[in-house]
Structure 1
Amino acid sequence: MTIQKTFQVCPGTLAKGYDTYSSTCLKYVFNGKKVSPILPYNSPLLDGKDGETFEANKRRLSISGVQEKFSVIQIKNQIRLTEEGESGTFILKPIPRDLMRVDQVPANEHLTMQIAKQVYQIKTAENALVFFQNGGPAYITKRFDIVDEKTKWAKEDFATLANKTSETDGENYKYNFSYEGIGKLIKTYVPAYRVEMEKFFSLVVFNYLFSNGDAHLKNFSILETEKGDHILSPAYDLLNTRIHVNDADFALTEGLFDEEYYSDEMKANGWCGRDDFEVFGDRIGLKPQQIAMLLEPFLKDQPMVHELIQNSFLNEETKALYKDHYLTRLKKLTNTL
């Protein structure tokens, strides 16, 4: 049985006053075509024909990761699973398994990506929420490495660039590094690294402020451009992981720095503050004025963050938790906790 869902905000931009996708969402996510937020499938968590269809699709998808991902394609006004021989233009991520508040994961990722884009002007993979016939949510994101049916840009994650594999570093290979180390790799592989380093710095600060404890090597990538050089890819896989697992402040085991460095804040309280990120910025080659400019929006309580949390598809309990994590990290970052 199909459940009729009613919306009061756009399931893409989270703007109020929409009972479906807004024109802005349709433009950036779905190529300007009118697309329904309701997929023609039941959730893959359910048994039956649709479950079998999703399993067959998953075997064709080469993108790695713990969370189940499926390849989908937009044909005019319809979003559907890819079939044999088709190249997907979107990744679909339903509710995963075995996490706290697991049913909130799609809305969490969607909200966090929207905050990154709308509040902090971080370039992100275009994304939205969709819903199965039985009402369950899924996160959908547009592939930024697929230009059109004939063009695909090369993409390399930083695990590959750092020569980290399960054979060389064991099952935790994508975590055995530092963010300063990623900065050094950016200088090596990205010609316009001075510009891209600012983007990287902002993303690292964002991940800390919004409790993304899974920002590992495979969640940063470089992307080939039409000119044949490389830039940082749009941000992806951003979510507040603290809502679902009791993880560390940083995904990478070495933290911000290649070698042990402890600010006065860290020594006194055991957490990173503004001083740590100022040192981090300096060590990856940013000038003091650049660091101050980039940190500035992260050091104030942004009203739009609260607005987007309230408009999100999280339930009320998780909205309150998300807000609490944000304000706690903000106090840590500004040394006011």
Structure 2
Amino acid sequence: MEALALDVRLDTSADPVGVLVRDQRGGLAFAYSEAYVSQPGAISLSLSLPLTPEPFEEAVTRPFFDNLLQERDGALSDIMAREAIARDDIAGLLFHLGKDCAGALSVLPVGSPPTKVPGDYQKDYQPIEGDRLDAIVESLHKRRRLPAGTDDPSPLAGMQSKIALTVLPDGSLAEPVPSSGAPTTHILKVPDQDHIHDGSLEYEAMRLSQEIGFSTADVSLLPIAGVNVLLVTRFDRARDKDGRIVRIHQEDFAQALGLPSALKYERRGAPGRRFDVDAVRRILDATSDPAVERELFIQATLFDLFVGNVDAHAKNFALLHEPGGGISTSPRYDILPTRLDDTLTDELAYKIGDATTLDEIRKEDIDLFLKTVGIPSAAARQRLAKRYATEVANKLAGHLDRVGKGGQKPLADLIASNMRTLLGALDIEVPDPAKDRDAYIGRAGGWLLS
């Protein structure tokens, strides 16, 4: 194997911020450039790669850059087959795919010009005609290759069918002009044939998250080609002083912890190297306002338990790296009531105390959860457990009738059932709107009955 060096570029920096190196044995190392480290306002690429002129070895470098590759197999498989590259040759894959990494980063052959630049609505985007948009959605819905001439300009993490697009000021959908390097502004998520209701369910869960006060990515539900697709506004985009679209650097919690995407669930890791509440606490402690972020994480966890989102893994939480080094958690995204699908596990992405499912949670588990996340006082934990659970439950309960009457009765029943389970374990009174709703029963005939 030949040695290989690649420039690592950040959309906000004129010059490469560092270099990724593969040695002749396939080992990886990364180093920031000295000029970048000394630059005023420089930001680190990751909590796992703090700003320092010292190089990072394989154990730290590999997981971060592996996370830049998409989890879906399409593009990876094509490159691996065409170029005879093994899946563990991260640098070799990024040599071919690194210009299209998700987010503000790109990884390019040394000396290459930038491939990611700000986007101008007037010249950098082309509208997607209706017939072609239908063909794109149908391809994603049936998990087929995208129509000829369609390249996802920002390959996205996760297993759902999706494509990155741009919404123009007039509301029409568009894509970047080929080779323009312009950012997309939205993600179009298309449910496959076996999960036809996922778009509308995620829309409702995201809407609930926003309505009860969480900072949440904006969503809308669009009927395209006979499918309800979810249009999600990207939280890692902004407008500069000239009105151009620019990328904001972000990383998910797997990258921040130095974990490969394969370890995004607690159950797949080992103590000290896994996504668990102790690891989350370390991340929150590194943010600009740990106390606020801790409170938000506790409330978000309770919200997920109530709405049946047990898929809140390490790649469904993210950090925003702000100019000057500030770090904050991102708006919420990827909230899906996965407990409505009996083909999926009900095991939590991270344990609550010693509990691995909602039904196992007891008062002691919530207490241990709060202690682990960083609340040392037993009296404070007892007070906060009741306060947070009551507040989130009451806010959600106020929307149950709307959700149930709006065509999502199974979701409303599930939320009410989850409230009765969790609040009962905490000896907290269940809000009236949830007391008498039907019990959630499960799937039958491909859809949900109660």
Partner of 1:125: 217
Relative distance call for 1:46 and 1:150 in structure 2 (3 A) is closer
Q: Which segments of 5 or more consecutive residues in structure 2 lack a partner in the other structure?
A: 1-128, 267-274, 431-450
Q: Which amino acid aligns with 2:346?
A: A
Q: Within the alignment, does 1:197 sit opposite 2:197 as a pair?
A: no
Q: Distance in 2 between matches of 1:271 and 1:73?
A: 43
Q: Distance in 2 between matches of 1:274 and 1:79?
A: 50
Q: Match for 2:326 among 206, 229, 241?
A: 229
> Offset of 1:81 from its aligned partner?
3.6
| Pair 311,321 (structure 1): closer, same or farther in 2 beyond 3 Å | closer
In 1, the alpha carbon distance for the partners of 2:263 and 2:302 equals: 23
Answer yes or no: is 1:321 the counterpart of 2:418.
no
Q: Is the 8 A contact 2:206 2:216 kept in 1?
A: yes
Alpha-carbon spacing, 1:81–1:96, altered in 2? closer, same or farther (3 Å): farther
Describe the superposition over 1:293-327 as per-residue Cα deviations: whole angstroms up to 9, x where unpaired.
Answer: 32222344844321341354xxx5xx232122212
* 2:181 paired with 1:89: no
Aligned match of 1:74: 167
Match of 2:156 in 1: 63
Q: 1:145 to 1:95 in 2, by over 3 A?
A: same
Q: Which residue of 2 aligns with 1:156?
A: 251
Alignment match, 1:276? 365
Matched, 1:173 2:263: yes
Query: 1:232-251 counterparts in 2 under 5 A?
Result: 232-244=329-341, 245-251=343-349
Map residues 235-314 of structure 1 onto 2, 5 A cutoff. 235-244=332-341, 245-252=343-350, 255-257=351-353, 261=354, 271-286=360-375, 287-288=380-381, 289-300=383-394, 302-310=396-404, 312=406
Structure 1 residues 270 and 136, CA gap change in structure 2 (3 angstroms):
closer
Q: Could you tell me how far apart the structure 2 residues matched to 1:141 and 1:183 are?
A: 28
| Per-residue deviation, 1:152 | 2.0
Q: Which of 105, 116, 138 is equivalent to 2:198?
A: 105
- Give 1:235 shift: 0.5
Matched, 1:330 2:426: no
Letter in 2 for 1:159: A
Q: 1:184 aligns with which of 272, 282, 285?
A: 282
SS in 2 for 1:236: coil
In 2 relative to 1, CA 56–276 (structure 1 residues): closer, same or farther, beyond 3 Å? farther
Amino acid at match of 1:151: V
Deviation at 1:59? 3.6
How big is the alpha-carbon RMSD for the aligned residues of Structure 1 and Structure 2?
3.0
Among all aligned residue pairs of Structure 1 and Structure 2, give the percentage whose two residues are the same amino acid.
Answer: 19
The alpha carbon displacement at 1:163 in A equals 1.0
1:88 maps to a residue whose letter is T
The TM-score normalised by the length of structure 1 is 0.72
Report what 1:210 is aligned to: 307
CA distance in 2: counterparts of 1:55 and 1:238, whole angstroms: 32
Helix, strand or coil: the match of 1:276?
A: helix
Q: What displacement does 1:185 show?
A: 2.0
1:277 deviates by 2.3
Assess, with a 3 A threshold, how the Cα gap between structure 1 residues 211 and 145 changes in structure 2: closer, same or farther. same
* Residue deviations 1:195-245 (CA, integer Å, cap 9, x gap): 111111111111111111211000011112355301110000001011223
The 3 A distance-change label for structure 1 pair 290 and 335 is closer
Deviation at 1:278, TM superposition (A): 3.4
- Please state how far the C-alpha of 1:290 moved relative to its aligned partner: 4.0
TM-score normalised over the length of structure 2: 0.55
Q: Report deviation, 1:274.
A: 4.6
Instruction: Tell me how far apart the structure 1 counterparts of residues 167 and 196 of structure 2 sit (CA, whole Å).
Output: 25
Matches of 1:78 and 1:329, distance apart in 2: 38
Q: Take 1:54 and 1:273, find their aligned partners in 2: how far apart are those partners?
A: 51
1:106–1:137 CA contact under 8 A, matched in 2: yes
Letter in 1 for 2:284: I
Structure with higher Rg: it is: 2
How big is the shift at 1:72? 1.4
Alpha-carbon separation, structure 1, partners of 2:169 and 2:245: 17
2:253 is aligned with 1:144: no
Q: Which moved more, 1:219-228 or 1:229-238?
A: 219-228
The farther-off stretch of 301-310 and 210-219 is: 301-310
The answer to whether residue 231 in structure 2 is matched with residue 135 in structure 1 is no
Distance 1:125 1:238, change over 3 A: same
Instruction: Supply the distance in 1 between the matched residues of 2:346 and 2:216 (Cα, whole angstroms).
Output: 24
* Alpha-carbon contact 2:153-2:184 (below 8 Å) kept: no
Judged with a 3 Å threshold, the aligned counterparts in structure 2 of structure 1 residues 72 and 202 are, in CA distance, closer, same or farther, namely: same
CA contact (8 A) 2:253 2:314 kept: yes
Report the number of matched residues: 273
Structure 1 CA distance, aligned partners of 2:349 and 2:416?
20
Counterpart code for 1:153: I
Where does the alignment leave 5 or more consecutive residues of structure 1 unmatched?
Answer: 1-38, 167-171
Summarize the Cα distance change of 1:223–1:182 in structure 2 as closer, same or farther, 3 Å threshold. Answer: same
Q: Is this contact kept in 1: 2:215–2:332, CA < 8 A? A: yes
Contact conserved, 1:301 with 1:330, CA < 8 A, in 2? no
